[in-house]
Amino acid sequence: MESNRKKGSVAEDLALKELTEKGYSLLERNWQSGHKELDLIMQDGKELVVVEVKSLSSDRYGDPIDRVTSRKEKNIIEAADEYIRLNNIDMPVRFDVVEVVFAEGKPLIHHIPDAFGPLF
C-alpha cells in the first residue's frame, strides 16, 4: 500500500496537471512558513490562487474537502498572507481546493474554485 505522503504527492501532481491544463501558472509548490505549508501557489490571470490538495482512497466516508477544517483554512490563510508579504504581491487572492479520489481505475479530480476565504 502506498504511503500517505506518496499519495499526497501523486494527488498534487494530478492537481497541478489539471490546473496547468486550464491555463494556470505554477509559482510555488509545497511552500512553507514555519510549520504551515501551501500545497500549490498558482496564478490565474491577474489572480493569485492558493490551492489546497486533498485526497482520499474512496469517497465512501465523505468528500476530501470535508478534511479542510476551519483550523486548516486559518493556517492556509496565515501562510498565504506571509507569502504575499514576503513577495510584495499586489493582486487579489483566491483559495481553491482540488479533491482527488483514488477510486478503482482512473483517479477522480474535482477543482473547487473559491472554496473558502478570509473572513473580514
What is the set of domains in the chain, with CATH numbers? 4-116 (3.40.1350.10)
pLDDT higher than 90, residue 53: yes
**In 22-105, where does DSSP find H-type helix?**
70-86
* pLDDT category of residue 1 using cuts at 50, 70 and 90: very low
* φ and ψ of 32, to 5 deg: -120, 145
The top-scoring range by mean pLDDT among 53-62, 71-80, 100-109 is 71-80
- Position 2 pLDDT exceeds 60: no
